[in-house]
Amino acid sequence: MPSALTDDLTAPNHRLAHASTFSVWPGWRVLLQDAGVNGANVLRRVKLPGDLFARESVQLDSATYYRLWEAIDEEAGNAGGPASLRFAQKMLTDWFNPELFVALCSEDLNGALARLAKYKSGPVALKLEHNARSTTAVLEFLDRALTLPRVLMAFKLAFFVQHARLATRGPVHPLRVGWPAPDLSARDADAYAAWFGVPVEDLPVPTVVFAAQDTQRPFLTANQGMWTFFEPALRQRSIWRRSNNPNTCCWHTFLVPMQGRWAAQPRDRRCWMGG
């Protein structure tokens, strides 16, 4: 893909300072289990507390977060295909995760990506470019001195595609997808191509391009009422994270009743998924 594709991209959160840490939520434990990955072994590999996946809103610096993803990839192995795809395929609408709630309560994929760009957690920017034919999404991880785990890049892009499929209940396939993958094995390349619907390209940065018709397809999970209820706390969370305020009570006092309200909904009305 030409490098010009990532030039002059606009990011709705360009005026916001980015958080300095990545969040890890209890839903990770469910995802790992569903994908057949032993979470306890993962934590031992990276020498993190054994109860980390049971804690609320754990914050990890980039180096530790990347080591965690490398440990996940190692523990997952490749017998069942690329770990990133195995995780994406297990994402369900009943897996609580605030970031995905932001996306699935939106009206369509364009709205979801715009909200994710504004409220993206962690030291990463989501840059978007729109034209009459497509929407391009580029992930920019801000700790450039560190080497990004490929499993993380692949999962983040698969996450966008899978959430679009879940929200529309339709066969969404990107026009293009890629990340730095100069030595992707033929086996993994075939698996990715079959799942995404297009071959993975070796690109400088993680990039996915969606057709305009897919980005405008209505989300069946759209829920303006839930979003109106949730969004003020999301704004407050962004404020304390950008200011490095260790006092997270405003978020947790909101999160607990929010989980209860979500769980009380019929399964076919829940507008959540995890990632």
pLDDT tens per residue across span 103-113: 889 999 999 99
Q: Is a pLDDT exceeding 80 seen at residue 183?
A: yes
**Position with higher pLDDT, 75 vs 238:** 75
Count CB-CB contacts under 10 A for residue 63.
Answer: 11
Does 102 map to a domain? yes
Q: Are 147 and 66 in contact (CB under 8 A)?
A: yes
At 118-141, the pLDDT tens digits run 887 788 999 999 999 999 999 999
At 112-121, the pLDDT tens digits run 999 999 887 7
Q: Is a pLDDT exceeding 60 seen at residue 221?
A: yes
Structural domains counted in the chain: 1
Does 35 map to a domain? no
Structural domain of 196 = 95-269
SS3 63: helix
Q: Is a pLDDT exceeding 50 seen at residue 147?
A: yes
> Where residue 250 falls among pLDDT bands split at 50, 70, 90?
very low
DSSP summary character for residue 149: P
Copy the structure tokens of residue 168. 């529309």
Percent pLDDT > 90 in the chain is: 54
Q: What is the pLDDT of residue 237?
A: 61
> Where residue 144 falls among pLDDT bands split at 50, 70, 90?
confident
Does 81 map to a domain? no
CA 212, 224, 12, 272 torsion-angle sign:
negative
SS3 130: strand
Euclidean distance between CA atoms 112 and 160, whole angstroms: 9
Identify the CA nearest to 170 among candidates 211, 200, 207. 211
Does 45 map to a domain? no
Euclidean distance between CA atoms 95 and 169, whole angstroms: 17
Euclidean distance between CA atoms 109 and 214, whole angstroms: 7
**Position with higher pLDDT, 133 vs 263:** 133
Copy the structure tokens of residue 242. 């950008």
Does 13 map to a domain? no
Does 56 map to a domain? no
Q: Is a pLDDT exceeding 80 seen at residue 186?
A: yes
Does 198 map to a domain? yes
pTM score? 0.81
Mean confidence (pLDDT) of the chain: 81
Does 89 map to a domain? no
